[in-house]
Amino acid sequence: MGQWGNRCSVLRSWLPDGQVLRTRAVPKSSTGPDLTQLFIGAEGVLGLITEATLQVFPAPEAHALLAFAFPTFDHGFAAVLEMAAVGLQPALMELTEDFPVEKIAPSLIERYPGVSLYIGCEGFQELVEAQRGRTVAICQHHAGKDLGEAAAQVFWNSRHRTAERFQQERMQNLPHGILDTRPEASFDYIHIALPPSHVLPYRERALGLCQQRGIMVSQCGIWTRPELFSMAMHNPGGRLEILADTVDRLLELAQDMGGSMEYCHGVGVRLAHLLERELGTGTKILAVLKRGLDPDYVLNPGKLGLGPDASKDRTES
């Protein structure tokens, strides 16, 4: 599984006027806003990060891999919620619900078998044993069936192949504007963050919306934390505008339920049209920062919706 992880503690960023910003290598500071995180999350619109110093953790002493099957997504999610409530912090966690993809089901909200939870624990030996024991107890309490470490190992060994294949297909089909290998179909996904209490209601409403529009949901899942929900979708009809509009409606639904429309891939240009809807007054603050640091708009114009016209409109409204 590798190391516990790393954390960016220092960065060196080139500003549009030629000045260089360098932050300090301390775990906590009370001298104003965190400029490191401001520039990391700005997608290059405020400055260009030319150097980053990472905090590297030692390789863990022990590992444990676990896999469970649940009768429904609700059961698996309940287990994930309880783990978070008692303070369990797995190094790896994926709750996956697979739907049949051969045809659109009469109701996507039916509970299909195929809900699996994969857990990875790392750390010193005693900690890993304690995590393993409590994880097994919690999952069994919520009707989880222990599939054994071999099943978990197979999953973690092969899960990256899906991402690699997806990236290859994406690059091949990018000129055509689709992410699927078949010309008659299209594919998209969402990765949203929600308050934990809203995840299950959101899932039900999202599945219902897709069903109404003839969009086929192939997978739902939770990655790393109970608040982080993902969904993969196919449009067998091949009309890209229907899938794109459905994705927008799903992202807006997440915002309306107190969540965020993206938790891992950023906003870029693709989601910029929904950023003001999510940040509200915060978009004016971003526009002021952009104009102050980059008045000529030479850095990634258009990213985060911060082109010269958009920023002017926001700061003057």
In this prediction, residue 86 has a pLDDT band, given cuts at 50, 70 and 90, of: very high
Please provide the average confidence, as pLDDT, over all residues in the chain.
85
pLDDT of residue 157: 84
In a domain, 202, yes or no: yes
pLDDT in tens, 140-181: 999 999 999 999 998 888 877 766 766 776 676 666 554 444
Same domain, 138 and 245: yes
pLDDT of residue 226: 96
pLDDT of residue 46: 93
| Most confident region among 47-51, 80-84, 103-107, 108-112 by mean pLDDT | 80-84
Same domain, 37 and 133: no
CATH code, domain with 33: 3.30.465.10
Same domain, 79 and 195: yes
- Check whether 287 has a pLDDT greater than 70: yes
Last residue of a domain, one of 41, 56, 71: 56
pLDDT of residue 223: 92
pLDDT in tens, 292-314: 999 999 999 888 888 887 645 55
In this prediction, residue 126 has a pLDDT band, given cuts at 50, 70 and 90, of: very high
pLDDT of residue 162: 64
Decide: 210 and 217 in contact? Cβ < 8 Å.
Answer: yes
In a domain, 224, yes or no: yes
pLDDT of residue 180: 47
Please name the residues in contact with 149: beta carbons below 8 A apart, sequence gap of 6 or more. Answer: 64, 65, 66, 67
Distance CA(17)–CA(213), nearest Å, equals: 49
308, HSE (Cβ side, Cα atoms, 13 Å) = 6
Q: What percent of the chain has pLDDT over 90?
A: 56
Amino acid at the residue 51: E
Q: What range defines the domain where residue 303 resides?
A: 272-316
Closest C-alpha among 252, 191, 249, 202 to residue 225: 191
115, HSE (Cβ side, Cα atoms, 13 Å) = 23
Q: Pairing relation of β-strands 20-22 and 62-70?
A: unpaired
pTM across the whole model? 0.85
Please name the residues in contact with 62: beta carbons below 8 A apart, sequence gap of 6 or more. Answer: 122, 123, 124, 125, 127, 128, 129
Map residue 76 onto helix, strand or coil: helix
In a domain, 47, yes or no: yes
Beta strands in the chain (DSSP E): 6-14, 20-22, 48-56, 62-70, 92-98, 115-123, 145-146, 186-193, 216-223, 228-235
Same domain, 278 and 205: no
| Most confident region among 113-122, 175-184, 307-316 by mean pLDDT | 113-122
Decide: 54 and 9 in contact? Cβ < 8 Å.
Answer: yes
Same domain, 126 and 239: yes
Amino acid at the residue 288: V
pLDDT of residue 140: 98
In a domain, 261, yes or no: no
Structure tokens at 214: 């003839």
